[in-house]
C-alpha cells in the first residue's frame, strides 16, 4: 500500500468511521463505452444533495503558489478532483476521499475512504474529495507550482434557498482570495432531481469531425473545451450558459439560434436527443457532467416531455450576435445566497462609455439584489449593500426596462450576477 495512503488512513478517527461508514459510495464502473476518461464519479444519498430546483455548476479553480481559500461551508455538496499539482486540505466534517492510485481499471476511481477531520492532508492529481453539506473546508497551495481543480457544486435554488456560502470566521477581505481564479465551465437549474440517491459523473467527450452529439437520457451539462458549435434550439428544455458572463439562464425558446465558444455550455435538465452534425464540422471536445438516479429501479419512469432537441447548423450559418463575448478568461464562481426581494425600480438610463471589463465600482444603495441574469424574473444570487464594491465582467444588457451589468463581488469573487445600473456608481463618460 502506498505510503501516502497509509499516512492518510492513520489520521482517520475511529469514531468518524463508526458515524460515517456507508454514507457515500463511489461506483467503480465507467459510465458508458463512449467515455474517453472518467474524471469525477460519486454517489450521494438522499438528504446529501438538494431537491429541485437546484443550481448545478461545473467550474475549474486555479490556485497560485501560497494562495488559499478561507474556511467556509456550503448548503449543498461539492465534489473536487485535482487536475494538476498538490493541494493541502483541511475539513471539519463529513467528506469522502478517493485516492487516484491503485485503480481497478484505467480512468476509474478506487474505492473511497473517509477523509481525516481537523488535520491537514494532501491531494494530488486524480484524487477526489466529496464534501457533504455544511462540512467546513479550507484548502491551499503550499507548493511552488499552480494547482488546478475540477469542481462540481450542487446548491438549493428557489425563493427560500439558504446562503450559498458561509464563512466561518466572518466575511474575508478581498485580498484573502488573491491567487485563486475560478473559471465557470457551465451553469444550470435542475427542474427535477431523483429522490432516492444520485450518481454524478464528469467525463471527457471527444467527437471526431462530423460525429453526432450523443443523446442523453439524464440531466446533462456539456461544456465546450475545443472547437465551436453553432445550433438552433428545436424544442424541449435547453439552457445555454457563458463562461465569460456566468450564471444560470432560463430555457432557450424554440427557433433561437446561438453558438458556443470554449467554456460555454449547454445544460439539458431532462436529457437531450441525438444531434447530427454536418460532415464538415470539425472535432469537438466537451467536459460532460451527468446526474442520474443511483437506484433507477426505485424512480418513476420519465414522461419524455421536455427532452432537449437542437439542430447543429455548422459554420455555414452566421449566428445572431450575442451581447456577451464568450472567452476563456478567468471568471469567479456564482454561489447563490438567500435574500428578500428589493429589486431596482428606477427607469434605465443611457449606457455610459466609461465602465470597462475589469473596473471595480461601488454599490450606492442598501439591499440591492444581484440577479442570475439580466431580468427581475431571474433567480436572486445575493444581496449587496452600500459601499460594497463589485467588478464589471462584461458589457451591459438592456432587458427593455432596466440596464444590467454583469459583476462579481470584490470581497468574494466566487459570487457573480447582474445588478441594475442605477445602483452602481459607474465612472463618468470618458474616464
* pLDDT at site 303: 64
Pick 401 or 206 by higher pLDDT.
Answer: 206
Q: Strand (E) positions, 141-197?
A: 147-156, 166-167, 180-190
Together in a domain, 326 and 372: no
* Mean pLDDT confidence for 197-224: 95
Does the structure show a pLDDT above 50 at 64? Answer: yes
Does the structure show a pLDDT above 90 at 113? Answer: no
Query: Grid coordinates standing for 150?
Result: 475540477
Tell me how far the alpha carbon of residue 235 is from its chain's centroid.
24
Is residue 366 one of the residues assigned to a domain? yes
- Model pLDDT for residues 115-132, shown as the tens digit of each residue: 888 989 999 999 999 999
* pLDDT at site 159: 65
Together in a domain, 365 and 325: no
Lowest mean pLDDT: which of 113-122, 299-308, 324-333? 324-333
Together in a domain, 150 and 285: yes
- Reference 348, options 390, 313, 382, 397; nearest CA is 397
Q: Which residue has the cell 458556443?
A: 260
Is residue 347 one of the residues assigned to a domain? no
Pick 359 or 260 by higher pLDDT.
Answer: 260
Q: How far is 59 from 290, CA to CA, in rounded Å?
A: 14
Together in a domain, 263 and 299: yes
What number of other Cβ atoms are within 10 A of residue 21's Cβ? 9
Q: Write down which residue in 312, 332, 352 finishes a domain.
A: 332
Together in a domain, 232 and 117: yes
Together in a domain, 66 and 28: yes
Q: Write down which residue in 315, 332, 349 finishes a domain.
A: 332
Contact (CB, 8 A) for 100 and 84: no
List phi, psi (to 5°) of 424.
-125, 135
* pLDDT at site 380: 86
Q: How far is 189 from 249, CA to CA, in rounded Å?
A: 8
Kindly state the DSSP code that residue 164 receives in the 8-state scheme. Answer: S
Q: How far is 351 from 330, CA to CA, in rounded Å?
A: 25
Pick 329 or 166 by higher pLDDT.
Answer: 166
* Cβ-based burial of 51 (10 A; exposed 0-12, middle 13-18, buried ≥19): middle
* pLDDT at site 22: 38
Is residue 346 one of the residues assigned to a domain? no
pTM: 0.69
- According to DSSP, the residues that pair with 207 across neighbouring strands are 284
- Reference 203, options 42, 45, 76; nearest CA is 42
Q: How far is 24 from 258, CA to CA, in rounded Å?
A: 39
* pLDDT at site 405: 92
Is residue 203 one of the residues assigned to a domain? yes
Together in a domain, 66 and 165: yes
Find all residues with CB under 8 Å of 369, minimum gap 6, and list them: 339, 341, 342, 343, 344, 380, 382, 383, 419
* Mean pLDDT confidence for 427-431: 51
Is residue 421 one of the residues assigned to a domain? yes
Find all residues with CB under 8 Å of 251, minimum gap 6, and list them: 237, 238, 239
Together in a domain, 33 and 108: yes
* pLDDT at site 112: 64
Together in a domain, 91 and 187: yes
Can you give the CATH number for the domain in which 393 is found? 2.30.30.40
Peptide bond into 341 cis (omega under 30): no
Together in a domain, 327 and 371: no
Q: Which residue has the cell 430555457?
A: 251
* pLDDT at site 367: 75
Q: How far is 270 from 37, CA to CA, in rounded Å?
A: 24
Pick 63 or 94 by higher pLDDT.
Answer: 63
- According to DSSP, the residues that pair with 286 across neighbouring strands are 205, 224
Q: What average pLDDT does the structure give for the chain?
A: 79
* Cβ-based burial of 102 (10 A; exposed 0-12, middle 13-18, buried ≥19): exposed
Kind plus residue range of the DSSP H or E element containing 10: helix 3-10
Is residue 143 one of the residues assigned to a domain? yes
Q: Write down which residue in 316, 332, 348 finishes a domain.
A: 332
Is residue 250 one of the residues assigned to a domain? yes
Q: Which residue has the cell 467546513?
A: 136
Together in a domain, 395 and 318: no
What total of structural domains would you count in the chain? 2
* pLDDT at site 428: 58
List phi, psi (to 5°) of 176.
-65, -20
Does the structure show a pLDDT above 80 at 9? Answer: no
Is residue 430 one of the residues assigned to a domain? no
Mapping DSSP to helix (H, G, I), strand (E, B) and coil, where does residue 383 land?
Answer: strand
* Mean pLDDT confidence for 187-216: 93
Residue 224 pLDDT grade (very low, low, confident, very high; cuts 50, 70, 90): very high
Mapping DSSP to helix (H, G, I), strand (E, B) and coil, where does residue 4 land?
Answer: helix
Q: Which domain holds residue 175?
A: 1-332
Between the alpha carbon of residue 148 and those of residues 81, 321, 430, the distances in Å are: 9, 33, 38
Together in a domain, 321 and 383: no
Lowest mean pLDDT: which of 18-32, 42-56, 230-244? 18-32
- Reference 109, options 41, 177, 165, 174; nearest CA is 41
Amino acid at each position: 500500500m502506498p505510503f501516502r495512503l497509509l499516512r492518510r488512513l492513520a489520521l482517520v478517527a475511529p469514531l468518524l468511521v463508526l458515524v460515517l461508514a456507508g454514507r457515500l459510495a463511489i461506483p467503480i464502473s465507467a459510465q458508458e463505452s463512449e467515455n474517453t476518461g472518467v474524471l469525477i464519479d460519486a454517489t450521494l444519498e438522499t438528504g446529501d444533495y438538494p431537491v429541485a430546483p437546484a443550481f448545478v455548476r461545473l467550474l475549474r479553480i486555479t490556485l497560485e503558489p501560497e494562495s488559499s481559500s478561507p474556511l467556509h461551508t456550503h448548503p449543498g455538496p461539492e465534489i473536487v478532483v485535482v487536475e494538476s499539482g498538490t493541494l493541502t486540505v483541511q475539513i471539519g466534517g463529513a467528506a469522502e476521499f478517493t485516492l487516484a492510485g491503485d485503480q481497478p481499471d484505467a480512468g476509474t476511481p478506487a474505492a473511497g475512504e473517509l477523509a481525516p477531520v481537523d488535520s491537514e492532508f494532501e491531494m494530488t492529481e486524480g484524487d477526489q474529495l466529496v464534501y457533504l453539506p455544511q462540512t467546513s473546508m479550507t484548502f491551499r497551495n503550499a507548493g511552488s507550482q499552480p494547482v488546478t481543480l475540477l469542481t462540481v457544486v450542487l446548491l438549493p435554488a428557489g425563493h427560500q434557498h439558504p446562503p450559498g456560502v458561509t464563512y466561518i470566521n466572518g466575511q474575508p477581505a478581498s485580498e484573502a482570495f488573491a491567487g485563486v481564479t475560478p473559471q465557470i465551465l457551465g451553469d444550470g437549474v435542475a427542474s427535477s432531481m431523483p429522490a432516492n440517491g444520485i450518481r454524478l459523473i464528469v467525463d471527457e467527450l471527444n467527437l471526431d469531425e462530423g460525429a453526432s452529439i450523443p443523446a442523453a437520457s439524464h440531466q446533462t451539462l456539456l461544456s465546450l473545451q475545443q472547437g465551436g458549435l453553432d445550433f438552433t434550439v428545436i424544442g424541449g428544455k435547453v439552457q445555454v450558459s457563458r463562461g465569460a458572463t456566468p450564471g444560470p439562464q432560463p430555457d432557450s425558446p424554440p427557433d433561437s439560434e446561438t453558438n458556443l465558444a470554449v467554456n460555454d455550455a449547454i445544460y439539458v435538465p431532462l436529457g437531450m436527443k441525438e444531434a447530427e452534425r454536418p460532415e464538415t464540422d470539425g472535432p469537438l471536445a466537451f467536459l460532460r457532467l451527468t446526474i442520474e438516479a443511483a437506484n433507477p429501479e426505485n424512480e418513476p419512469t420519465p414522461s419524455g416531455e421536455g427532452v432537449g432537441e437542437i439542430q447543429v447548423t455548422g459554420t455555414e450559418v452566421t449566428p445572431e450576435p450575442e451581447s456577451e463575448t464568450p472567452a476563456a478568461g478567468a471568471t469567479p464562481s456564482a454561489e447563490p445566497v438567500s435574500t428578500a426581494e428589493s429589486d431596482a425600480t428606477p427607469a434605465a438610463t443611457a449606457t455610459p462609455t466609461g465602465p470597462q471589463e475589469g473596473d471595480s465600482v461601488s454599490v450606492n444603495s442598501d439591499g440591492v439584489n444581484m440577479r442570475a441574469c439580466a431580468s427581475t424574473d431571474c433567480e436572486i444570487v445575493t444581496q449587496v449593500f452600500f459601499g460594497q464594491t463589485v467588478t464589471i465582467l462584461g458589457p451591459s444588457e438592456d432587458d427593455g426596462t432596466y440596464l444590467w451589468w454583469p459583476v462579481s463581488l470584490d470581497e468574494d469573487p466566487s459570487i457573480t450576477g447582474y445588478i441594475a445600473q442605477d445602483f452602481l456608481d459607474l465612472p463618468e463618460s470618458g474616464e
